[in-house]
């Protein structure tokens, strides 16, 4: 059975229902599924940004949150928009979840199953109800629920109201959002990958050769103070994205950058390794592994975590950060085919955790 019309005909409905006119967005595989591959831009368009591309692949492989800081035009938005394109297709259960949520907002695609991870990129003027959900009567899902099983991208993150940003903290931990009203309480799924992008300062010119920044120290502090410590601490991967040089731009005319397809294959293979290892614990992704499991059963060798011990002793890494670095280290091991994280994996994971905040 490929369509609900067949079920209706079985129970006495008009057979003309089977002569269904295809809806725009039908996948080549048959009716009832939405093919969104064309909606996601390709990584081949990103010039340079070796570390940015690596961080994007790690984020996709392990389901990790990502923060990028760099000057305007460096490619932060281009990278973020390409994350959904290297994520695996949604399985049947996930597709039903995502389609059901979007149907509550009147999404015209919901006559068919959504098979690709969604991308939500709200403007920095968004309100708390629009982000988390709300409205009169029964609250409707907000942007974080519409990003369920996909990506929530907040460009110019420090421009968002701090109280709006802080409402993300609880959903990032629980994967759900609860909206309480006087007459009812609604709970929606909100398991998404968060991607934050920010300029190095309000004017955006604080980095690079020929620093033209006109911002005072107070203005810079106030700008980044919008991103609270507890929120940033929940972001596994943090990196600085430098401006693309003329050499990088000119060299792109020769051998083109790697496109999304081989990256997606590596991501899928790494996720397969995670499922095989974590299935016994009822988990699928490294980003979901609890600290108790990482400190005991899945703890790397003692020598591999010496850099983390030093970082905690120097108060540059919190206890929550320690666990998040181990999660990323496991993802790096899965991407390289290692059986467990090495000291190199841990050090690279630590670099991606502390390079912005240090």
What number is the average pLDDT over the span 255-262? 89
User: What structural domains and CATH numbers belong to the chain?
Assistant: 4-35 (no CATH), 41-206+216-245 (3.40.50.300), 260-354 (no CATH)
Instruction: Specify the 3-state DSSP secondary structure of 45.
Output: helix
Range of lowest pLDDT (179-188, 231-240, 256-265): 179-188
| CB neighbour list of residue 88: distance below 8 Å, 6 or more residues apart | 264, 267, 268, 271
Asked if residues 182 and 143 have their Cβ atoms less than 8 Å apart, the reply is no
CA distance 188 to 183: 17
Does 150 or 135 have the greater pLDDT score? 150
Cα dihedral angle (338, 342, 347, 349), rounded to 10 degrees? 40
Predicted local distance difference test score (pLDDT) of residue 208: 61
The H-assigned helical ranges of the chain are 4-10, 50-62, 76-81, 92-103, 128-132, 143-146, 162-166, 169-174, 217-224, 229-233, 246-251, 260-278, 291-295, 306-313, 319-336, 343-354
Share of the chain above pLDDT 70, in %: 85
Give the burial class of 134: count Cβ atoms within 10 A of its Cβ; 0-12 exposed, 13-18 middle, 19 or more buried: middle
CA distance 14 to 2: 17
Contacts of range 247-250, beta carbons closer than 8 Å, 24 or more positions apart: 248/47, 248/48, 249/47, 249/48
Range of lowest pLDDT (60-64, 147-151, 246-250): 246-250
What number is the average pLDDT over the span 106-129? 87
Indicate the average pLDDT of the chain: 86
Cα angle value 300/301/307 (rounded, 5°): 85
Instruction: Specify the 3-state DSSP secondary structure of 186.
Output: strand
Each residue's pLDDT tens digit, 284-324: 999 999 999 999 999 999 899 999 999 999 988 989 999 99
Asked if residues 199 and 159 have their Cβ atoms less than 8 Å apart, the reply is no
What number is the average pLDDT over the span 330-353? 96
31, β-bridge pairs = none
Listing DSSP states for 265-325 in one string gives: HHHHHHHHHHHHHHGGGT---GGG--HHHHHTTTPPPGGGGHHHHHHHHTTSS-HHHHHHH
Contacts of range 17-25, beta carbons closer than 8 Å, 24 or more positions apart: 23/111, 23/112, 25/109, 25/112
Of 119, 112, 84, the C-alpha closest to 96 is 112
CA distance 332 to 224: 29
The label of the residue with tokens 């609900």 reads 4
Predicted local distance difference test score (pLDDT) of residue 15: 55
Each residue's pLDDT tens digit, 160-198: 999 999 999 999 999 999 988 777 788 999 999 999 999
198, β-bridge pairs = 69
């Amino acid at each position: 059975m490929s369509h609900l019309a067949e079920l209706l005909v079985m129970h006495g409905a008009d057979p003309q229902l089977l002569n269904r006119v295809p809806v725009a967005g039908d996948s080549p595989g048959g009716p009832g599924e939405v093919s969104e591959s064309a909606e996601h831009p390709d990584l081949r368009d990103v010039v340079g940004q070796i570390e940015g591309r690596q961080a994007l692949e790690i984020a996709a492989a392990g389901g990790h949150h990502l923060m990028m800081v760099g000057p305007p035009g460096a490619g932060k938005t281009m990278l973020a928009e390409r994350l959904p394109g290297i994520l695996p297709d949604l399985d049947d259960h996930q597709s039903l979840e995502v389609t059901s949520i979007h149907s509550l907002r009147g999404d015209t695609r919901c006559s068919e199953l959504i098979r690709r991870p969604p991308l939500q990129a709200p403007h920095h003027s968004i309100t708390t109800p629009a982000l988390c959900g709300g409205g009169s009567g029964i609250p409707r899902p907000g942007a974080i629920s519409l990003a369920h099983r996909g990506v929530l991208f907040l460009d110019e993150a420090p421009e968002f109201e701090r109280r709006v940003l802080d409402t993300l903290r609880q959903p990032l931990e629980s994967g759900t959002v609860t909206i309480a009203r006087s007459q009812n309480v609604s709970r929606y799924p909100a398991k998404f990958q968060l991607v934050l992008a920010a300029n190095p300062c309000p004017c955006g010119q604080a980095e690079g050769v020929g620093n033209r920044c006109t911002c005072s120290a107070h203005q810079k502090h106030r700008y980044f103070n919008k991103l609270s410590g507890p929120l940033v601490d929940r972001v596994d991967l943090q990196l600085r994205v430098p401006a693309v040089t003329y050499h990088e731009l000119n060299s792109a005319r020769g051998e083109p950058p790697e496109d999304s397809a081989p990256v997606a294959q590596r991501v899928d293979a790494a996720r397969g390794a995670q499922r095989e290892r974590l299935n016994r614990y009822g988990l699928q992704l490294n980003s979901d592994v609890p600290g108790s499991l990482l400190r005991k059963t899945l703890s790397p060798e003692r020598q591999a975590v010496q850099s983390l011990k030093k970082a905690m002793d120097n108060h540059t890494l919190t206890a929550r950060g320690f666990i998040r670095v181990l999660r990323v280290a496991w993802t790096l091991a899965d991407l390289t085919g290692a059986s467990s994280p090495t000291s190199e994996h841990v050090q690279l994971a630590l670099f991606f955790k502390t390079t912005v905040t240090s």
